[in-house]
Chain A
Amino acid sequence: MSELRLVVCMKVVPKPEEVRVDRMTWRLDRARARAEMNPPDMNALEMALALKDIHAGRVTILSMGPPSFEPYLRLGLAMGADHVCLLSDAMFGGADTLATTYTLAAGIRKLGGADLIFCGEESSDGATGQVPPGLAEWLDLPQITLATQVSLDAAAGTLRGRREIFGGHEVLEMPIPAVVSVKAACNEPRFMDYRRKPWAFETGQVTVWDREDLNAEDSRIGVAGSPTVVSGLDEAAVRERRREFLHGTPDEIARALLERLDRGA
């Protein structure tokens, strides 16, 4: 078998706890939030690097976003990836899942395909987990989502993976190429390799492709390729609670609490 081609889709997100809403303009104020690599994407990268450790091969990090993503993606090179490919074009902005998965699929085709494509289970800003199966659909590949571990039989060309389901797990086997969505916190992402650091942050290869490079249809990317539109924003109707503070010794508080819960709630 020729060299194993592993692609990891990664995304830079603002730290969710630092995003604030400007109550005057109703805009999300992401500017003051620090960015980070979407945490489950790091687990996806680790899973790919672990397969590279066993089978050798080439790990490509694929991302869609602005040029400001680049330093975050280079961290992946320092961890052991070989190549970063950033899909960047002003026209890619405002993409919903359909347009995002179309664009990522176009990036993978442009790379010449892949044997395995890894994604984090979901992004911490969107948190809907729709990208990995959507990507698999565009590429007409089998998938395993919420995978906690995988093993590859390179000779047979099959992937076996364990996935979480309600109240248990299942083990699936499928031919490669395939798409794997990786469960958050299922492994311990490695530290960067300091010997790789100068290369990773200075001379390491980052390819940037725009919509023309991808030969993408304008009607399928960004806002134009997104069926969903935001028709309104609303303040979350936070339910009014009593906010009654209970005081005293722990025993007094416990009794007061039980009385109140008996009474009404």
Chain B
Amino acid sequence: MASSIYTADEERKTVWVYLEQTDGRLEGVAVELLGRARLLADQAGWPLTGLVCGNQVGHLTEQAFMYGADDVWVADHPLLADFTVDAYAHVAFSALMHGKPSVFLAGATPNGRDLAARLAVRLRTGLNADCTDLRFDARRGILISEVTGFGGGVLALLEMPDHRPQMATVRAGVFPTEEPDPKRIGRVVKVPVDLPAETIRTKVIERVRGQRVDLTQVTALVCGGRGMNGDFSSLEHLARLLGGKVGATRPAVDEGLVGRERQVGQTGVVCRPKVAFVCGISGAFHFVVGIQNAGAVVAINSDPDAPIFEFSDYCVVGDVSSIVPALIEAIESRREAARV
């Protein structure tokens, strides 16, 4: 078997987390990863390092320390102001070759996936993508990545015995955000950036960021599927009342009923709301994955045999077009009563 660029014999016994930032703010998934990585590193007694790339992002180090990093490597350069995979892969690769960590974790965001995939090939190592859990065999120093097997019910445990770094990506919402410790401090390491402009082959012509829908942080989630017959208006009303947001199954997203960022499940978002309403959704496993961390699940479906009822706390066999309006009315009348 062909070996990785640096091998297990050359590794340094550290865990690294890629601290993805957008416009100078850490992505939620980076903070979630720090929490889990802290746990893994502690099991082995290894230090935890964060790697942040950007332009004038030094202020992010304190936050990284609070969430568990022992040190933060900062690659700061004007050409890193906009994310381009060419620039970021170039800089992260050189930092990794200096640090030679045993483990390198990144968030499975659009840019995080692009970066991780290119780095894994450049380092000739493996990448366990979209993991649903990460464990550590501290004795062997081996990361064990859990991924859900295709279509249903099975978890595969993956490991990389010989290749380094042991890379894995995890989507937002899979791990909780741990409590920050404002007293924690750490060490800042400045990464020298040697980034010739011609490294960057892509030009950013335009970048538009509107309001961002982030279902991973909602407390109330109202999901619809094909059983909504193309009309999500009642679900939007219910979500507004609950201070929550609307999500959907993949088929409903494919039909264009709601935006892709609202897709819940294995290939969408994994959510951890206090309550999830699941309306007109049969309950295929790849959807259920997205709500398995919900506090309570309410399912409304006209088919009494729908699999979704197996994964729900409160089950209503009935027509969404009469149950959801009744629910809206009950909530509204109760608020009226409270006001009087």
A-B contact pairs, 23 of them (CB 8 A): A19-B150, A97-B126, A122-B267, A128-B113, A128-B169, A129-B129, A133-B113, A133-B118, A134-B120, A134-B121, A137-B121, A167-B211, A174-B202, A228-B126, A228-B128, A229-B158, A233-B154, A234-B155, A236-B153, A250-B322, A257-B330, A261-B275, A264-B296
B154 touches A26 (CB 8 A): yes
A257 to B86, CA, bound (A): 52
Within 8 A of B (CB), among A123-145: 124-134, 136-138, 142-145
Q: Which 3 A-B pairs have the closest CB atoms?
A: A167-B212, A265-B296, A227-B126
Residues of A within 8 A of B285 (CB): 236
Residues of A within 8 A of B329 (CB): 251, 254
B181 within 8 A of A: no
A53 within 8 A of B: no
A224 to B3, CA, bound (A): 11
A146 to B267, CA, bound (A): 14
B202 touches A173 (CB 8 A): yes
A130 touches B113 (CB 8 A): yes
Residues of B within 8 A of A242 (CB): 312-314
A171 within 8 A of B: yes
A47 to B8, CA, bound (A): 42
B138 within 8 A of A: no
**Contact with B206, one of A96, A170, A235 (Cβ below 8 angstroms):** A170
A128 touches B129 (CB 8 A): yes
Further pairs besides A16-B150, A172-B204: 9, Cβ < 8 Å = A17-B284, A28-B154, A98-B120, A167-B261, A169-B208, A219-B1, A228-B128, A238-B311, A241-B312
The smallest beta-carbon distance between B265 and chain A, in angstroms, is 10
A255 to B154, CA, bound (A): 37
Residues of A within 8 A of B202 (CB): 142-144, 172-174
Question: Nearest residue in A to B22 (C-beta to C-beta)?
Answer: A166
B207 within 8 A of A: yes
Interface residues in B, total, Cβ within 8 A: 95
Binary A-proximity of B23-60 (CB < 8 A = 1, otherwise 0): 00000000000000000000000000000000000000
Residues of A within 8 A of B192 (CB): none
B85 touches A219 (CB 8 A): no
A167 to B207, CA, bound (A): 11
B79 within 8 A of A: no
Residues of B within 8 A of A183 (CB): 260
A144 to B148, CA, bound (A): 27
A112 within 8 A of B: no
A115 to B214, CA, bound (A): 37
B16 within 8 A of A: no
Residues of A within 8 A of B124 (CB): 98
A20 touches B152 (CB 8 A): yes
The smallest beta-carbon distance between B184 and chain A, in angstroms, is 28
Binary A-proximity of B149-162 (CB < 8 A = 1, otherwise 0): 11111111111111
Residues of A within 8 A of B126 (CB): 96-98, 226-228
The smallest beta-carbon distance between B327 and chain A, in angstroms, is 4
**Could you tell me which A residues sit within 8 Å of B by CB distance?**
16-21, 26, 28, 96-98, 101, 122, 124-134, 136-138, 142-146, 160, 163-175, 183-185, 217, 219-220, 224-236, 238-239, 241-246, 249-251, 253-255, 257-258, 260-261, 264-265
A133 to B326, CA, bound (A): 49
Residues of B within 8 A of A224 (CB): 1
The smallest beta-carbon distance between A147 and chain B, in angstroms, is 11
* Given known A-B contacts A96-B126, A261-B296, A253 and B153 have beta carbons under 8 A apart: no
Residues of A within 8 A of B120 (CB): 97-98, 130, 134
Binary A-proximity of B263-298 (CB < 8 A = 1, otherwise 0): 000110000001100000000111010001001111
B2 touches A28 (CB 8 A): no
A134 to B167, CA, bound (A): 14
**Contact with B208, one of A170, A238, A260 (Cβ below 8 angstroms):** A170
A127 touches B267 (CB 8 A): yes
The smallest beta-carbon distance between A196 and chain B, in angstroms, is 27
B229 within 8 A of A: no
B110 within 8 A of A: yes
Query: A126, A243, A249, A254: which has the most chain B beta carbons within 10 Å?
Result: A254
Within 8 A of A (CB), among B100-118: 108-111, 113-114, 116-118
A185 to B22, CA, bound (A): 27
B316 within 8 A of A: yes
A260 to B327, CA, bound (A): 13
B96 within 8 A of A: no
A18 to B204, CA, bound (A): 41
B209 within 8 A of A: yes
Query: A131, A145, A233, A261: which has the most chain B beta carbons within 10 Å?
Result: A261
**Contact with A244, one of B85, B208, B315 (Cβ below 8 angstroms):** B315
B144 within 8 A of A: yes
Residues of B within 8 A of A254 (CB): 323, 326-327, 329-330
A234 touches B157 (CB 8 A): yes
A137 to B204, CA, bound (A): 20
